[in-house]
């Protein structure tokens, strides 16, 4: 639809941008040796749109007329491309299926309401007609939370919030902004930034995800250590339910019973459509710096991260990669010309002479924001902790590079799929006391899964998002499945993904820290929140949506 931008129908991000390893000379040898994938192998490009068979829309004249009168003719779309764009998110199974043209059930119609009244009219019309309604933000979810159930007989309506994209007001005295739910990250920050404010929420999917999607999936951004997860940031909201609207004012705190705000957070379209939210915003910082550090081992790095989390420093970002992710990261460096290339190799020689095992080193980034005195003081506190745990400061250069590159990295999955490689992520959170067991147990579980498939496989991890009592561990895995068919590839993918997810649950961690449940993680929900907890959730969903019209299949 004109005026609303979408990601490419078959993969991540925008058309014309792709990952390439040709300016990274160490990457292909690394991936060949450690992952078992040849980056220079001839690839098969993604299909063209004409190659795929798109099912006809099944919407009847009555519902079509009601929806048209709700949003206007120009904002009701049944063309093939639009419906396909709204069928999948961007999880690995989504990408494998869409590239194979696998479209068992797709939305019959996409509507683009322009205000809350239109959203109400669409929700009521869909429920009245016993249709399925699926709210759509940026389509970036990675948990299978947008796809209609394969055997859904009812009409499927995708409700795209892309026209609801404005910052409506800022309460400067309170540091709160009222923002429409369909706004994409960059558009929102541009509007806030023009008035000197920022929300500070920066998921890696920032460019292609929306405020409503963040709330509906309980998202977390890389600067969560300072700004909080979206669950902290979103203070009030309006949510269209069948026949009514939940209106929650932006209160700093409240003791009015079980939190309805928390019921909306993570509701994944199962309770209704979030149309706007009051969110915490902050004055744009005077200085912003990301500094890189290097630790001799994972154990020393994690100990330092925990100490930083409990210290007087209040960094924006605390992140450390394990040895595998560090080695991968170094392999993706561009050729370092002149002095900086030399400095790195001299430094590594020195560290080796000091007894460091360079195969075990862990790269860390810590972010700082604020006035110069605050940043200086926080760097001093962190520097002392780093040194206490045997680490060293690498400096600003690698930190700045990480900050620039972070939004390009997701394109790599499509490139790997071109050459037959599967790569995906699983993330979790656990108390500090369980983090090391969780880490080693999950690596073991992934390796056993690779062994059971007879494939080489690679798994790497980083810690990000630190809290008082624990942190998030984020695992990335990749392997060449060695089979061609969609189902065969996905079967192998699930062997690894399930092993990792199950190890989270078995080792005292959650099924997901910030990607949500969707359909991909639903299997572990009961183990995560207990059968009685699931009963509570079922009662809530049934109470609001007895006909299972709102995004059925996802969550529960």
Supply the residues annotated as catalytic.
474
Strands 362-370 and 287-295: antiparallel
Find the DSSP H helices in 72-210. Answer: 80-85, 92-99, 116-128, 185-193
Taking CA atoms, 180 is separated from 121, 161, 195, 267, in Å, by 17, 9, 17, 17
Residue 172 C-beta: closest distance to ligand FAD, Å: 26
What is the rounded CA–CA span in Å between residue 10 and residue 47? 8
Residue 108 C-beta: closest distance to ligand FAD, Å: 16
Which one, 237 or 385, has the nearer CB to ligand FAD?
237
Residue 278: count other Cβ atoms within 10 Å of its Cβ: 23
Burial class from Cβ neighbours inside 10 Å (0-12, 13-18, 19+) for residue 377 reads middle
What is the rounded CA–CA span in Å between residue 305 and residue 319? 8
Residue 374 C-beta: closest distance to ligand FAD, Å: 26
What is the rounded CA–CA span in Å between residue 545 and residue 244? 12
What is the rounded CA–CA span in Å between residue 498 and residue 446? 9
Which one, 407 or 450, has the nearer CB to ligand FAD?
407
Residue 324 C-beta: closest distance to ligand FAD, Å: 19
Q: What are 7's two structure tokens? A: 């990601």
Which one, 89 or 370, has the nearer CB to ligand FAD?
89
For residue 554, which of 515, 528, 501 has the smallest C-alpha distance?
515
Which one, 379 or 515, has the nearer CB to ligand FAD?
515
Which one, 235 or 389, has the nearer CB to ligand FAD?
235
Residue 139 C-beta: closest distance to ligand FAD, Å: 5
CB 208 within 8 A of CB 13: yes
Can you give the binding site for ligand FAD, defined by CB under 6 A? Answer: 12, 89-90, 134-142, 145-146, 161, 181, 203-205, 209-210, 212-214, 216-217, 219-220, 268-269, 273-274, 410, 514-516, 551, 554
Residue 222 C-beta: closest distance to ligand FAD, Å: 6
- The separation between CA 209 and the C-alpha centre of its own chain, rounded to angstroms, equals 9
SS3 (DSSP) at 28: helix
| Residue 513, φ and ψ in degrees, nearest 5 | -85, -35
For residue 497, which of 460, 446, 455, 444 has the smallest C-alpha distance?
446
Residue 155 C-beta: closest distance to ligand FAD, Å: 17
Residue 174: count other Cβ atoms within 10 Å of its Cβ: 13
Which one, 209 or 489, has the nearer CB to ligand FAD?
209
What is the rounded CA–CA span in Å between residue 308 and residue 379? 11
Which one, 90 or 97, has the nearer CB to ligand FAD?
90
Q: Which residue is nearest to ligand FAD (CB)?
A: 213
For residue 302, which of 153, 116, 74, 472 has the smallest C-alpha distance?
472
Taking CA atoms, 70 is separated from 75, 137, 175, 365, 545, in Å, by 9, 19, 35, 49, 21
Length of the chain: 556
What is the rounded CA–CA span in Å between residue 81 and residue 120? 26
SS3 (DSSP) at 453: helix
What is the rounded CA–CA span in Å between residue 112 and residue 308? 45
Which one, 107 or 457, has the nearer CB to ligand FAD?
107
Residue 265 C-beta: closest distance to ligand FAD, Å: 11
Which one, 57 or 410, has the nearer CB to ligand FAD?
410
Residue 428 C-beta: closest distance to ligand FAD, Å: 13
CB 477 within 8 A of CB 424: yes
For residue 93, which of 500, 363, 469, 491 has the smallest C-alpha distance?
491
Which one, 97 or 515, has the nearer CB to ligand FAD?
515
Residue 427 C-beta: closest distance to ligand FAD, Å: 8
């Amino acid at each position: 639809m004109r005026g609303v931008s979408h990601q490419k129908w078959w993969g991540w991000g925008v058309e014309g941008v792709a990952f390439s390893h040709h300016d990274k000379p160490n990457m292909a040898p690394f991936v060949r040796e450690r992952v078992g994938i040849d980056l220079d192998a001839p690839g098969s490009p993604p299909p063209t749109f004409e190659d795929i068979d798109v099912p006809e829309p099944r919407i009847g004249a009555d519902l079509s007329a009601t929806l048209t009168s709700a949003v206007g003719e120009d904002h009701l779309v049944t063309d093939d491309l639009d419906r396909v764009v709204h069928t999948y998110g961007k999880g690995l199974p989504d990408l494998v299926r869409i590239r194979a043209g696998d479209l068992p059930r797709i939305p019959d119609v996409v509507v683009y309401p322009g205000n809350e009244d239109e959203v109400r009219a669409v929700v009521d019309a869909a429920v009245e007609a016993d249709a399925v309604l699926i709210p759509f933000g940026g389509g970036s979810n990675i948990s299978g939370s947008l796809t209609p159930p394969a055997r859904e007989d009812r009409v499927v309506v995708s409700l795209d919030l892309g026209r609801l994209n404005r910052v409506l007001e800022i309460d400067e005295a309170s540091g709160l902004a009222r923002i429409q739910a369909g706004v994409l990250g960059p558009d929102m920050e541009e509007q806030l930034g023009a008035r000197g404010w920022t929300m500070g929420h920066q998921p890696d999917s920032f460019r292609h995800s929306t405020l409503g999607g963040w709330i509906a999936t309980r998202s977390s951004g890389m600067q969560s250590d300072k700004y909080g997860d979206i669950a902290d940031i979103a203070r009030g909201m309006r949510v269209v339910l069948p026949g009514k609207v939940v209106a929650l004012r932006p209160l700093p705190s409240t003791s009015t019973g079980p939190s309805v705000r928390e019921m909306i957070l993570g509701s994944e379209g199962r309770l209704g459509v979030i149309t706007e939210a009051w969110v915490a915003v902050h004055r744009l910082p005077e200085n912003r710096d990301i500094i890189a550090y290097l630790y001799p081992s994972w154990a020393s790095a994690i100990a330092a991260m925990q100490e930083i989390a409990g210290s007087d420093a209040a960094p924006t970002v605390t992140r450390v990669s394990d040895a595998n992710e560090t080695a991968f990261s170094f392999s993706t460096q561009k050729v370092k010309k002149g002095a900086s290339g030399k400095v790195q190799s001299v430094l590594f020689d020195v560290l080796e002479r000091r007894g460091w095992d360079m195969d075990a080193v862990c790269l860390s980034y810590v972010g700082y924001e604020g006035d110069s005195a605050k940043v200086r003081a926080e760097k001093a506190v962190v520097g002392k902790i780093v040194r206490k745990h045997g680490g060293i400061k690498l400096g600003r250069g690698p930190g700045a590079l990480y900050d620039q590159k972070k939004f390009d990295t997701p394109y790599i999955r499509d490139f790997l799929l071109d050459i037959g490689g599967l790569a995906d992520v699983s993330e979790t959170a656990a108390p500090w006391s369980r983090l090391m067991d969780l880490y080693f147990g999950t690596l073991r579980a992934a390796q056993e899964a690779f062994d059971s498939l007879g494939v080489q496989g690679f798994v790497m991890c980083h810690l990000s998002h630190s809290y008082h009592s624990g942190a998030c561990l984020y695992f990335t895995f990749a392997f060449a499945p060695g089979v061609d068919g969609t189902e065969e590839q996905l079967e192998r993918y699930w062997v690894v993904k399930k092993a990792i997810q199950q190890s989270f649950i078995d080792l005292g961690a959650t099924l997901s820290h910030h990607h949500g449940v969707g359909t991909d993680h639903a299997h572990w929900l009961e183990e995560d929140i207990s059968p009685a907890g699931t009963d509570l959730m079922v009662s809530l969903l049934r109470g609001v949506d007895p006909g299972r019209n709102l995004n059925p299949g996802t969550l529960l």
